[in-house]
Structure 1
Amino acid sequence: MQLDDTDRRVLRHYLADPALPRAELAERAGVTAATLWRRLERLREGGVIKAERARVDWRRLGYEVEVSLRFTLDKTDPRAFDDFIAAARLVPEVVAIETFLGRVDVRLNVIARDMGHYQEVYRQRILGLPHIAEVDALMLIATIKDAEALPL
């Protein structure tokens, strides 16, 4: 889908504050409310805007620990990826699953209330996932940049 300058301007302001009332968003983007509505609909229909969703601050809900777990799977079984991902989806503390090409096959982002809770999740749920050959953990210390916006 080709974007023109108006589309980029609408997207830039929309990404900056998706909860902004549409009239104010139109004003900031320099378009009429009708133009804004048409542009947003076209961007949705074209698959550029996939969904409007809430971004939850897990720390405010009592989850103080976030760990990125990187897995290398035992790929001797052709169902290794599918089995692993299906089982990982069932772990409530897993908030993201990503697959990769390279040394790391899958990354899970896991949240926990504290280190004791993380240890419980890791031992009882994560280590029981199928086809794990290697696992590496990276504990989140701070998020410096967390933007979904593109340089439009």
Structure 2
Amino acid sequence: MLDDTDRRILRLYQADPSISSADLAERAGVSSGACWRRLEKMRSTGVINGVQAVIDWRALGYEVEVSLRVVLDKTIPNAFETFSAAARDVPEVLEIQSFLGRVDLRLSLIARDMAHYQKLYRERILTLPHIVDIEALMHVARIQGQGTLPI
């Protein structure tokens, strides 16, 4: 689906999404028009889903990151959908992942400090519907973050 030129463009774009299209084309060794057409094709086919700003939440005063492993009551119809919809309403929940296995979902959330986390946990998390079991894992360090894809 992707040729070597597409991969080269993706590698460069992934390394610096703010690069101008003219600079991207020059570094990729293609004309500006060809580069633009290839990017548009990759966007339209879903290879590129968008460009996002990565905000350092610590710079905004959030110091605590917690992963919550959640087991839901699977005997309740639509438990996943109901829980996920309610969890999306908690602004501090950054990510919701679903799994196959003993753990059904993982929530990644942030808090300003431990007091804020305890308040969130008691008032917002424990009140989410259909929880059977929940385990909190406090993040200590990020050893490898969102890296680049090996294109």
TM-score class, shorter-chain normalisation, is over 0.9
The equivalent of 1:76 in structure 2 is 75
Counterparts in 2 of 1:29-44, with a 5 A limit? Answer: 29-44=28-43
Normalised by the length of structure 1, the TM-score is: 0.95
What is the total number of aligned residue pairs between the two structures? 151
| RMSD, aligned CA | 1.0
Instruction: Give identity over the alignment, percent.
Output: 62
Counterparts in 2 of 1:95-114, with a 5 A limit? Answer: 95-114=94-113
| Distance of 1:125 and 1:93 partners within structure 2 | 10
Unmatched 5+ stretches in structure 2 = none
SS in 1 for 2:65: strand
Q: Offset at 1:148?
A: 4.7
Could you tell me whether the CA contact under 8 Å between 1:95 and 1:109 is conserved in 2? yes
Normalised by the length of structure 2, the TM-score is: 0.96
| Distance of 1:151 and 1:132 partners within structure 2 | 38
Unmatched 5+ stretches in structure 1 = none
Stretches of 4+ aligned residues off by more than 2 angstroms: none
| Distance of 1:146 and 1:29 partners within structure 2 | 26
Q: Offset at 1:147?
A: 2.6
| Stretch of structure 1 that moved more, 20-29 or 66-75 | 20-29
Deviations 1:59-90 (A, max 9, x none): 11111111111101111101211110011011
Could you tell me whether the CA contact under 8 Å between 1:98 and 1:108 is conserved in 2? yes
